[in-house]
Amino acid sequence: MTSPVIRRLAILAMAAAIPALPLAAQELRIGLASEPSSADPHFHNLGPNNQLRRNVFESLVGTDEAQQLTPQLATSWEPVGENGWQFNLRTDVTFSDGSPFDAYDVIYTVCRIPGVPDSPSLFTTYTGAITGFEVPDPHTLIMLTAEAYPLLPTEVSTFGIISARANGVDGSTIAFSPEGCGDLNYPATQAFNDTTAAIGTGPFLMESFRRGEGIELVRNPDYWGEPAPWERVTMLPLTSEGPRVAALIAGDVDLVENPPLQDLERLRGDETLRVVQGISNRVIYIHLDHEQVPSPMIRGVDGVNPLQDIRVREALTIGINRDAIVERIMGGVAVSAGELLPPGMFGAHEEGDLPPAVFDPERAQALLAEAGYPDGFGITLGTPNDRYINDAQVAQAVAQMWARIGIDADVDASTASTFFSRRNAFEFSAYMAGWGSGTGEMSSPLKALLATRDPDRGFGGTNRGQYSNPAMDDLLTEALRTVDDDARQELLRSASRMAMADFAIIPLHYEVTPWAMRATIDYAPRADQYTLPYDVRPAQ
């Protein structure tokens, strides 16, 4: 136990000593808002895990702050033939155990992904399209798909490459089959967690991974790119908002993820701190039940589902004052949404082309009366209360606004795990949730949230409102086959416009992700909300 005075003196002494040290010797301490469930890059397709993975394991294709694709382990890629993509790999890359990186490591990785034991969420979403490989030379890789598949470069940016040689496998002997490649001495998830298998090509090496305590990374001295600016990175799980901010203010950490909105004003006023924020790829939306008659959480109607009437859906959409929610509940740290992906991202409309629905309570009431509900009806809005920024408050504000257009609205808020299992059982007539576009383009939310449910094609996986519009499905299917970027973008925009004109779903706002840090460092906000120490730089 050190006395506060001594600790303060020590901090002062450290603060005085830091400028004297060479920059490269510095340590970066990060307060994480949510903790990775594992250090295994393929165990759990979850934001915090993917964020951690990018420090140690790299993928063929990288993504920049706006989720645009950038070269990483592949220097370039182009479509070949009818249904293939050729990736030209870097020749100067070695794994941290010294083994060289080549095309066979990619095949080994894709082989491991479907068979990770006990995985809560596999990466097969992103490898499922691959039907075969061709390896003309060890640094050229051709991935084959069943049909033309424009999203392949985006999808290979989501999983990290592990080494075949480090696990005692000669990659050239692997017989790849989408059903599985046999037993190839895959490292166990536990081996990644105790760092013995944490052998990657990334800018950092994993020194320790202890759940609940923290993660320590050290600089990879043999990194092929520019060396990381930090000798050592410590990531502390500080999942409660208050302690996270307090740790930053007290100087225990240098950077925190997601400082709570209500404290941003205060943090901005502090000259020793810096707050950056950027629009994220996550939209908060309300999904409506298009299918069940009668719908489970609608009251005061006789055996019909009023949400099947487009006038009712429009009334519910224009009855919400998005700007008020953004200003009052989100503290200005959000952007009103007109579709499912913010302007500037692939497949989204340009700023102003598809603006958020205009708040018009009078017209909403008129529409309800026209649809035969002059006195409204009762509806319960389901929401998680610990998943999205101020989620339960936003849902309550929506219920408040619906109440004002004559709907007897109330809110059913529950913890995320309960909420999602109830949602997946179609217990809600209307529910609020969020969708972050993992691929950073429009096909992700359209495919997951609005395409007609079809498990075989992976369509409508999260379409728990059971919306179905064959014309939109066709546009989306066409887009997913179109390799030409401009044509694909136009198809995606048309599909999005069609769904919005049908009031299929009610977009509320795009989350804006804030980071707070010492004024001596800087970080460019990322749309995918990841905090990557490699990109945290000393301020200019």
Partner 1 sequence: MSVSEQSPPVAPVAAPRDRWRTINLVAGLAVIATLGILLSGQSIAQFPARVILLIGLVVLAAGLLRGRAHKFFSGPSAYFATASLLLLIVLAIFATELSPQNPYDLRQLDIMDGRLPPGSTTFDGAMTFHLGTDEQGRDILSGILYGLRVSLSVSIFATLAAMVIGVVVGIYAAWAGGRIESILMRIVDFQLSFPSILVALMLMAAFGRGLDKIVIALIIVQWAYYARTVRGTALSEARKEYIDAARGLGLPAYRIVFGHLLPNCIPPLIVISTVQVANTIVLESSLSFLGVGVPITQPSLGLLIANGYGYMLSGQYWMSMYPGVALLAIVASINMVGDRLRDTLNPRLQK
**Nearer residue to partner 1 within complex by CB, 264 or 500:** 264
Among 222, 265, 474, 485, binds partner 1 (CB under 8 A): 265
CB closer to partner 1 out of 50 and 258: 258
| Of 461, 458, 496, residue with least CA distance to 479 | 496
Are the C-beta atoms of 331 and 407 separated by less than 8 Å? no
- 328 sits near partner 1 (criterion: CB under 8 A): yes
Nearer to partner 1, 383 or 463 (CB): 383
Nearest C-alpha neighbor of 385 from the set 325, 431, 450: 431
Residue 211's contacts (CB-CB under 8 Å, 6 or more residues apart) are: 35, 37, 193
Nearer to partner 1, 260 or 347 (CB): 260
Does an H or E element contain 206, and which? strand 204-210
> Which long-range contacts link 49-53 to residues 24+ away (Cβ below 8 Å)?
50/158, 50/530, 51/530, 51/531, 51/532, 52/215, 52/235, 53/160
152 vs 407, which CB is nearer to partner 1? 407
AA letter at 296: P
Question: Between 97 and 265, whose beta carbon lies closer to partner 1?
Answer: 265
Least distance CB 246 / partner 1 (angstroms): 8
Considering only 26, 393, 452, 477, the residue that binds partner 1 (CB under 8 A) is 393
Question: Is residue 415 within the footprint of partner 1 (CB under 8 A)?
Answer: yes
For residues 408 and 397, give the distance between their C-alpha atoms in angstroms, rounded to a whole number. 13
- How many residues can be counted in the chain? 540
**Under rule CB under 8 A, residue 410 binds partner 1:** yes
The residues, ordered by sequence, that sit 6+ positions from 353 with a Cβ below 8 Å of its Cβ are 343
Q: Is 270 in the site for partner 1 (CB under 8 A)?
A: no
- Taking the least distance from each CB to partner 1, the nearer of 184 and 238 is 238
State the nearest-atom distance from the C-beta of 34 to partner 1, in Å.
17
Smallest gap from residue 409 Cβ to partner 1 (A): 6
**Least separation, in Å, of the C-beta of 328 and partner 1?**
5
State which residue, 67 or 383, has the beta carbon closest to partner 1.
Answer: 383
- 323 is a site residue for partner 1 (CB under 8 A): no
Which residues from 366-385 bind partner 1, rule CB under 8 A? 385
- Return the HEC string of 134-170: EEEECCEEEEEECCCCCCHHHHHCCCCCCCCHHHCCC
Least Cβ distance, residue 97 to partner 1 (angstroms): 45
- 16/268 Cα distance (integer angstroms): 24
At closest approach, how far in Å is the CB of 69 from partner 1? Answer: 38
Under the binding rule (CB under 8 A), the answer on residue 396 touching partner 1 is yes
Q: Is 336 in the site for partner 1 (CB under 8 A)?
A: no
Residue 310 makes contact with partner 1 by CB under 8 A = no
Closest distance of CB 386 from partner 1, Å: 7
Nearer to partner 1, 259 or 460 (CB): 259
Smallest gap from residue 208 Cβ to partner 1 (A): 31
Q: Determine if 386 is a binding residue for partner 1 (CB under 8 A).
A: yes
Q: Does 489 bind partner 1 (CB under 8 A)?
A: no
Which lies closer to partner 1 via its Cβ, residue 395 or residue 479? 395
Query: Is position 257 an interface residue for partner 1 (rule: CB under 8 A)?
Result: no
Q: How far is the CB of 241 from partner 1 (least distance, A)?
A: 7
Torsion angles phi and psi, residue 530, rounded to 5: -75, 145
DSSP, residue by residue, 242-309: HHHHHHHHHTS-SEEES--HHHHHHHHT-TTEEEEEEEEEEEEEEEE-SS-SS-TTEESSSS--GGGS
Q: Which is nearer to partner 1, 82 or 386 (CB)?
A: 386
Specify the stretch interacting with partner 1 by CB under 8 A; choose among 73-81, 347-355, 356-364, 411-419.
411-419
Stretch that binds partner 1, among 414-422, 438-446, 447-455, 529-537 (CB under 8 A): 414-422
Number of residues that bind partner 1 (CB under 8 A): 33
Q: What minimum distance in Å lies between the beta carbon of 308 and partner 1? A: 25
For every residue of 107-122, DSSP letters joined together read: HHHHHHGGG-TT-SB-
Helices 241-250 & 261-268, crossing angle to 10 degrees?
10
Question: Hunting for tokens 């790999």 — which residue is that?
Answer: 89
- Judged by CB under 8 A, the chain residues 216 through 245 that form the site for partner 1 are 241-242, 245
Residue 450 per-residue DSSP state? I
The residue within the footprint of partner 1, chosen from 91, 177, 262, 421 (CB under 8 A), is 262
Range 327-332, long-range pairs (CB < 8 A, 24+ positions): 328/397, 329/390, 329/393, 329/394, 329/397, 330/261, 330/389, 330/390, 330/394, 330/509, 330/512, 331/261, 331/262, 331/264, 331/265
409 interacts with partner 1 by CB under 8 A: yes
Q: What is the dihedral of CA 124, 128, 134, 139, to 10 degrees?
A: -40
Q: What's the N-to-C CA distance of the chain in angstroms?
A: 37
Which burial class, exposed, middle or buried, applies to 256 when counting CB atoms under 10 A from its CB (0-12, 13-18, 19+)? buried
Smallest gap from Cβ 206 to partner 1, in A, equals: 34
Closer Cβ to partner 1, 275 or 399, answer by number: 399
Please give the residue ranges that form the binding site for partner 1 (CB under 8 A). Answer: 241-242, 245-246, 260, 262-263, 265-266, 324-325, 328-329, 385-386, 392-393, 395-397, 399-400, 402-404, 409-415, 418
